[in-house]
Each structure stands twice: as C-alpha cells, then as structure tokens.
Amino acid sequence: MSTTFSYQKLFDFSRTIFIKIGCPEADAATAAKALLSADLRGVDSHGVARLSGYIRLWEVQRVNAAPAIRVVHETPSTAVVDGDRGLGLVVAPFAMQVAIDKAKQAGTGWVSVRNSNHFGIAGYHAMMALQHDMIGIAMTNASALVAPTFAKERMLGTNPIAVTIPAGAEPAFVADFATTTAANGKLEILQRKNQDAPEGWVLTKEGEPSTNANEIKNGGMLLPLGGDKEHGSHKGYALGAVVDIFSAILSGASYGPWVPPFPAYIPMPVNMPGEGLGHFFGAMRIDAFRTAGEFKDHMDNWIKRFRSAKTIAGQERVIIPGDPEREMETERMQHGIPLLQPVIDDLQSLADKFGVVL
Amino acid sequence: MSTTFSYQKLFDFSRTIFIKIGCPEADAATAAKALLSADLRGVDSHGVARLSGYIRLWEVQRVNAAPAIRVVHETPSTAVVDGDRGLGLVVAPFAMQVAIDKAKQAGTGWVSVRNSNHFGIAGYHAMMALQHDMIGIAMTNASALVAPTFAKERMLGTNPIAVTIPAGAEPAFVADFATTTAANGKLEILQRKNQDAPEGWVLTKEGEPSTNANEIKNGGMLLPLGGDKEHGSHKGYALGAVVDIFSAILSGASYGPWVPPFPAYIPMPVNMPGEGLGHFFGAMRIDAFRTAGEFKDHMDNWIKRFRSAKTIAGQERVIIPGDPEREMETERMQHGIPLLQPVIDDLQSLADKFGVVL
C-alpha cells in the first residue's frame, strides 16, 4: 500500500525539516534536492525514507547542521575538502563544485572529502558535471557490510561508483552502482515480499553461502560484485577497496571496518583512523580532450548502436546506463512519488516532532 | 609439459625480434619489458605467447614499428596522444609518462590515446606511477567479445582496468582485472584441460547460457562481471562501457563493436568510427591530497587490517590485490618462466623467420 506525494510537497517538507534542525536556508534546499533526487530516480531506499535517519544523526550530534565546509589542501587539479561533520547531502555538492571549478581551469578536477556523512545517491552529484559539458565521477565509502573475497568479516561498505557522460541528441550516460552483487535496498525489497535472495548475494555470519534475505540482520554479510571467486568477486572487492582508499585514505576520513554507521543507534567504531565518512569526486572537461561537439556526436553513435544490439529471448531492448532512472524521473515528476505507509508514518513523526505540516 | 626459460633470455629474444621488424632500439626494449611483465606476473595469456601475434599485425601493416607518437591536444592536467599505429607496448608507456609528467605539475594527469594497438597487461603501465609516489590508472578497450546485459551480440571487449596505489612498508596495492566475469585466458586454460566453464561466464551464439569453454570459438560471447542481471551484470557492462568511452570516444579511437581485432587474420571492421584501439591513463600525485608519509602509513594500516580479516572455511588468508602476481614475479625472476610446448614452437618459428637464436 502506498500513497502518492508530489515532488514539490516532499521537497518543501524535507527542506523545512532541514531548516528546523538549523541548516542555513541555502543548505537546506541543497540537501532536500539531493535527497529527493533518489525518490525521483526510483532509488526509494536512499530518498525521503532516510530523512528521519539523517535527523537522528543530528540528534546524537554526529551531524553538524551548520558546518564550515572548507578546502584544506589544493593543487591546480586537486583538493581535499573537510566537511566539518556536515550532511553529506550538502558537503558533496560543495566538493563536486570544487571539482568542476578546478576542471574549468586545469582540464580536470579531483576532490577527496573527509569528515562527512552519507551523501544520498552518488549519481546526483556526478550529474552536476553534465551541464558544464564535463564527465562527472562520484564515489563514497560507507559503513562495513561487505566481506572481501575469502573473508567472513564486514570490511567494506557497498561503496558505490557513479560515472556520468554527456551525449548530444541522446540522453546522458549515467551509471551509478554499488560495488556489491546487490545493494542493501534490493534485500529490503525481498524482505518485504518474504522472498529468498538469489545465491551469490549474501553470506551467513559464519561465512556460509545463504539465500536468506534477512541474513544481514543476523550478522551476515553482503558479497562483492561477482559473488564468489569463480565469478570474479575479487574484482568487485578490488573496486570497493579503490572507492574506500580514494574516498578516505587520500582525504583523512575513516575507512574499512571503521567507517561510521548510518543508523544513529549503532555505536561509533573504536580507534577510528580518520574523521567521518569519505567521498571522492572527479570532473573532466570534454574539450580538455576533443571538442564537445565531436565527442557528443560519437556518444550519440555509441548509444544508438548499443541500444539497437540484438537481444536475448524475453528482452525487448539493451539498456543504456541511466535509462530506467531517467524514465522514472519523468514519470514521478509528472505523477508524483509513491511512498509506503511505514515511510509516511515516519515522515508524520518528524512533522509532529518539529511542528510542521506534512 | 613445459620448459623453463630465464627472464633475461626471453627479454633478449623479444627485444631482438622487435628490432628485427624495425623498432628503434629503445622502443624494442620498452616493448619487450612490457610484454614480459605479463609472464613474470603469471598472466601467461598476455606475454611471449602473444609475441607472434604482434608480429603478424606488423606483417599485415596494422602495426607501425617506428611510429611518431605525439601529443595532439593538451591542458594542464590532460592530453590526447596519437599512437601512429605503434605497438601498444610502446605507445602505452609513452602516454603513461605524459600522465605522470602532467601530475608533477598539475597534481594529476589524464591521457586518452587513439590509433594504438594492444598494450599487454594494464597493470604494468599503471605501476609506472608507483615509483613517483603516485596512484596509477590504466585501461584499454579491446575487440568485441562481450554481450551487454540483455544482448546477444558482441559489443564490448574485455576492457580491463588497473589501479595501483603506493603503500609504505607493505607492498603496493595493484588491482588489474577484465570487466568480465572471467578473462578469455581463463577459458583457454579450461579448453586445454577439457573442462566446462562455470555458469555465468559465457553465452552461446544464440544468447543462451552455456558452460562450454569453447563457446567463443562457436560465435558465443563472454558475459560482463556479474554474469546475469540478477547478479549485477549491468554493473560490469557499465564498467566496460566506461572503459570504452574514456579510451576511445575521448581520444578519437574506434569503439564498441568496431574495435580492431587482435588476430591479424580477422578482417578489420567496416565503417570504423575512429582510429585504432584506445587507452586511458591516469596519474594522481599522493601529495596533491596529503603528505605521502601520512598516506602510506594509513595504506599500511588498511592492508594489514584486510590481510588479517577472518576467513571462510578452507581459505588461509584474505588477499590484497596484487599479492599473487607479486609472489609469482619473485618466483619467476628467480627460477624462470615455464612455457608450454606450443608457445616454444611458436617462438622457434619466429626465431627461424628472423634468423635469431632462441
């Protein structure tokens, strides 16, 4: 059961809540826009369903609502940003803008971020580059849920990577994916439906293969993209590791099993080797390589050729990364965003707490 | 059955053959070193076993033995390199050096390459960055063998990605992997042993799942990392696509199903949209983010923590990317490189053709 809300209504509500906890007005709008982009694009696990989670982090003083986000080190094409414990939803757009500004001058810009919190969906931040005719890259580490190949211990987060690439007449290429076989949100969908997970998604607490969609709640682990060694899980593990290192060891954030958890009720790791979560952003100006016109013509050609590839039985078309999310955004911007009753109840609690009308 | 050859002997032989086809002496040494790095690191499919393949490309005039490799466009942190149809084994180190030089000035360097040929193993080129206290990145497109998710057509190569990251007391982190479930070389090993492939590696020509290790010879396809949609193959497909676009659409090389094939007997694709193969290289100076000393201390901590993670039954340790290849290199540098008889016969044919002693 779900009820549909307009984008504008959920945006206004989220923005108001962020203002209520003390975010400056501009930051509140930035955060609400980043948060809602997940709902628009169909990544329901990362949108308003998490609003109360962000607020709880503020309540336990792990989120600073009015941070002094600043560049602490830079070269012509790089910077390190300290997020001052701000919402990742605010810190990430700041840092991505630094990457874009660097790219305007130096051809590319690369920004590693420490002392931040969860930033919503990676794709939103990477997409900021598109309007500047730049390729955008965004990644983040996250609290440990994933067992590296051969391990039975939570060592890495789902550590997503987003890469956005401008095209011409065709829509942009927008890849945004967790470096695990399946994101945690996919398991939550199966849990609600009382269904099993496919093999290769999770391990039990003891490190045995499992198809129980509730395994994470039992102390189990997610598996890196590939699932097991025979199917290349060492590659998914390496990708997740690269995200962790670029996001946290370049910047001075915490990493690996020491990344701060999103749920505010879970205690912080002891002996954290760095400050907060880490992110990494990149922007590459297309015309730092060739003219944007030539590049876009070839991207259109690439996209059309891939879209028209012959399909396996039962499939109508080959998908270009970003297709489903873009179609969802058009649909939801027009017809609204459906929310499940538990999410609505959660938002109503926030409304009551802060004296706001949902 | 195999016979063991010393590294020096195979290096000298390869260098001499490259000189015989007209490579300048320095280029011949560069190419031999890059080629042999595959044998040393245990990637037997990409080493001297391919020497005759490179020579056949020269025989059909697809490789220019004395290319005028040049930078055709640049900004402070980027360049496009035209390989002038040179051996990728020579073009790639040139381009990686440009990336390193850019990084010295601008903090990072990013180089897209067109008009090149196969470059051996990606990891070798990325590792050039390590001695400069830089992170190294290398990727390349390759002739199409891979079906995107839902497709039954060869659209992408195995498009590998390498990322190398310096450490302190610990050895460097060196990830180097095809963006497919399994590299083609893994199938060749199963073919020699007359064994089946695991599910999720290949499709038949008609797009049906298969466990036949000879499926590629029958017109079949490799699958992207993940295998099928349920196990995240859209993520492997997106990664392979990013490699293709960064390597070829940024530079003006050919891409997707139009990438030139490695076997010289396969005709070139018609209506190629660009010139030759494409590569993409990156170098990021560690101290463009934080001091190399701090970074390396944390990398050592990261590596030690991951290496000591609890293991699943039957496994003694968690592997850090690059561990097996580094151990193999030590072993083979000391005790020699074993070559199978067909490879030795192939090298003997080259020796006879060019009047060289093997």
Indicate whether this model's pTM tops 0.90. yes
Residue B199 in any domain: the answer is yes
Query: What was the pLDDT predicted at A30?
Result: 98
Residue A95 in any domain: the answer is yes
The CATH number covering residue B208 comes to: 3.30.60.50
Q: Which domain holds residue A46?
A: 2-181+223-288
**Whether A108 and B108 lie within 8 Å, measured CB to CB:** yes
Query: For residue B308, what pLDDT band results from cuts at 50, 70 and 90?
Result: very high
Greatest Cα pair distance in chain A? 56
Residue A283 in any domain: the answer is yes
Residue B295 in any domain: the answer is no
**Whether A200 and B231 lie within 8 Å, measured CB to CB:** yes
CB B131 within 8 A of CB B285: no
Query: What was the pLDDT predicted at A188?
Result: 85
Q: Which residues contact A109 (CB under 8 A, 6 or more apart)?
A: A77, A78, A79, A98, A99, A100, A101, A102, A103, A281, A282, A283
User: Is residue A342 scored above 90 in pLDDT?
Assistant: yes
The CATH number covering residue A160 comes to: 3.30.1370.60
pLDDT over 70 for what percent of chain A?
100
Does B159 contact chain A (CB < 8 Å)? no
Residue A64 in any domain: the answer is yes
Distance from CA of B178 to the nearest CA of A (A): 8
Query: What was the pLDDT predicted at B350?
Result: 98
The per-residue pLDDT for range A18-76, each reduced to its tens digit, is: 999 999 999 999 999 999 999 999 999 999 999 999 999 999 999 999 999 999 999 99
User: Is residue A193 scored above 90 in pLDDT?
Assistant: no
Q: What does the mean pLDDT of chain A come to?
A: 97
The per-residue pLDDT for range B196-208, each reduced to its tens digit, is: 999 999 999 999 9
Q: What is the dihedral of CA A263, A175, B176, B257, to 10 degrees?
A: 160
User: Is residue B185 scored above 90 in pLDDT?
Assistant: no
Q: Which of the residues B150, B174, B235 would you substitute to probe the A interface, choosing the one with the greatest number of A C-beta atoms within 10 Å?
A: B235
CB B303 within 8 A of CB A241: no
**CB proximity under 8 Å: A 2-41 to B:** none
Residue B343 in any domain: the answer is no
Q: How far is CA A297 from the centre of its chain?
A: 29
What is the mean pLDDT of the segment spanning A287-299? 98
Query: Given A200, A230, A289, which is nearest B251 (Cβ)?
Result: A289
**Whether A107 and B225 lie within 8 Å, measured CB to CB:** no
Does A105 contact chain B (CB < 8 Å)? yes
User: Is residue B319 scored above 80 in pLDDT?
Assistant: yes
Nearest to B167 by CA among B331, B38, B322, B33: B322
Query: Given A77, A235, A245, which is nearest B76 (Cβ)?
Result: A77
Distance CA B254, CA B262 (A): 14
Bridge-partner residues for B177, per DSSP?
A: B161
Query: What was the pLDDT predicted at A134?
Result: 98
The per-residue pLDDT for range B161-174, each reduced to its tens digit, is: 999 999 999 999 99
What is the mean pLDDT of the segment spanning B245-267? 97
Q: What does the mean pLDDT of chain B come to?
A: 97
Residue A333 in any domain: the answer is no
What is the count of structural domains for chain A? 1
Does A272 contact chain B (CB < 8 Å)? no
Query: For residue A259, what pLDDT band results from cuts at 50, 70 and 90?
Result: very high
User: Is residue A1 scored above 90 in pLDDT?
Assistant: no
Residue A233 in any domain: the answer is yes
User: Which residues of chain B make contact with A135, given a CB cutoff of 8 A?
Assistant: 246
What is the mean pLDDT of the segment spanning B26-47? 97
